[in-house]
Amino acid sequence: MTPNPTPAVDEALIRGLVPGVLGALVRRGADFAAAEDAVQDALVEAIRVWPTHPPREPKGWLITVAWRRFLDATRADATRRRREELIAEEPGPGPVSGADDTLWLYFLCAHPSLSPSSAVALTLRAVGGLSTRQIARAYLVPEATMAQRISRAKRTVSGARFDRPGDVATVLRVLYLIFNEGYSGEVDLAAEAIRLTRRLAATIDHPEPAGLLALMLLHHARRAARTTADGGLVPLAEQDRSRWDTELIAEGVGILQAALARDRLGEFQAQAAIAALHADAPSVGETDWVQIVEWYDELVRLTDSPIVRLNRAVAVGEADGPRAGLAALAELDDSLPRYAAVAAHLHERDGDLATAVRLYAEAARKATNLAERDHLTRRAARLNNRRGR
């Protein structure tokens, strides 16, 4: 009674074609919002049809089907509005500049007029080719809510003009958000962020997308070591480094070195450099903290971010001892997120366990995510038990 196994369609491969297909439709005169809907319809059709009728030319197939869907929708729309005369004749397939389409799409979906959550959702759908349902599940909101978020975002950017090249930093921030704040679910958002950043880095001649890609790869390499079997958080210092993915590390380091060689430092290259120094240390004791502090100094110069200064204090504590770390910490605002956690760690290293326990407990109460709260609580409990003996 087993049905004939149908070969599954490589979804990632299909989704990789999305920017080119969408760009082709828009260049034929379709408006972005309608074209994007039509491309989604074509993707659904491809996943249904291709297992039994694989196309000879996948991208051409998608453009043809999406264009028909677009015309059908436009006709229905136009009939309603009595604007049949606006329907375009179906043009022949013209030459497609894939690189321009891809870049245009990244910039459109990260447009500064969009809120971060809207830009993330639109990027995942229009550039990544994920369905609204997949994105809704990834971010744990109802599908209807995500559909509205995406259609609002499309309306917001529909009039956007790109006469001048945009600021690539806006695109990088969106990709970083997808990577860093992704929830776990059926869609691997970290892998998706890497796929989208890899493509951007291959399309645009700029070292920062490469820096971001390297940063993602170097952190993704630690994924298996980052959590215990029951989902607990394993801090960098305690990770089993034999479980780090050496291939990803090698790729990340290679990409970073090529980017740094171009001598246009940016924040993602500097962050990746720090991750690379961690990746380079066979054990936590062999970490080159002095160099890491230097990179934090660069990051402070580039971003002037209080969070960066906080992380710098941790590195200073390792490079020059916990007292030096505490001195660096003392210059910062104690209302910063994770301030108490950093202070607790430095006091523990300094041997002041009573203060460390108190601060770990305080940090646990202030933690904004469950895994970190549990980790800090365990930390406090461990020190309490050690002191009790």
272-301 residues in contact with another protein (CB under 8 A) are: 274-275, 278
Q: What are the residues whose beta carbons fall under 8 Å from the beta carbon of 49, sequence distance 6 or more?
A: none
Please identify, using beta-carbon distances, which residue of 52 and 335 lies nearer to another protein: 335
Please identify, using beta-carbon distances, which residue of 152 and 206 lies nearer to another protein: 152
Q: Considering only 4-12, 14-22, 81-89, 139-147, which stretch makes contact with another protein by CB under 8 A? A: 139-147
For residue 335, state whether it binds another protein (rule: CB under 8 A): no
For residue 29, state whether it binds another protein (rule: CB under 8 A): no
Residue 141, sorted as left (phi over 0), alpha (psi -120 to 50) or beta, turns out to be beta
Integer Cα distance of 304 and 300 in angstroms: 5
Please identify, using beta-carbon distances, which residue of 144 and 258 lies nearer to another protein: 144
Integer Cα distance of 42 and 32 in angstroms: 15
Q: Binding marks (x or -) toward another protein, 87..106, rule CB under 8 A?
A: --------------------
Angstrom CA distances, 357 to 69, 84, 236, 329, 367, stand at 63, 73, 20, 18, 15
For residue 228, state whether it binds another protein (rule: CB under 8 A): no
Residue 163, both tokens: 């006469």
* DSSP conformation letters of 15-33: HHTHHHHHHHHHHTT--HH
Tell which one of 14, 26, 121, 260 touches another protein (CB under 8 A): 121
Tell which one of 182, 209, 211, 325 touches another protein (CB under 8 A): 182
* DSSP conformation letters of 145-212: HHHHHHHHHHHHHTT---SS---HHHHHHHHHHHHHSPPPSSS-HHHHHHHHHHHHHHHS--HHHHHH
For residue 22, state whether it binds another protein (rule: CB under 8 A): no
Q: What are the residues whose beta carbons fall under 8 Å from the beta carbon of 278, sequence distance 6 or more?
A: 218, 236, 287, 292
For residue 183, state whether it binds another protein (rule: CB under 8 A): yes
For residue 52, state whether it binds another protein (rule: CB under 8 A): no
Tell which one of 27, 75, 152, 349 touches another protein (CB under 8 A): 152
For residue 154, state whether it binds another protein (rule: CB under 8 A): no
- Please classify residue 369 by burial: count the beta carbons closer than 10 Å to its beta carbon, then call 0-12 exposed, 13-18 middle and 19+ buried: exposed
Q: Considering only 40-48, 91-99, 176-184, 241-249, which stretch makes contact with another protein by CB under 8 A? A: 176-184
Position 197: which residue type? T
Please identify, using beta-carbon distances, which residue of 13 and 140 lies nearer to another protein: 140
- Nearest-approach distance from CB 274 to another protein, in angstroms: 7
For residue 305, state whether it binds another protein (rule: CB under 8 A): no
Q: Which DSSP category does 336 fall into?
A: S
Please identify, using beta-carbon distances, which residue of 280 and 352 lies nearer to another protein: 280
Chain residues that interact with another protein, rule: CB under 8 A: 115-118, 120-121, 139-142, 144-146, 148-150, 152, 177, 179-184, 190, 215, 219-220, 226, 233, 236, 271, 274-275, 278, 311, 314, 367-373
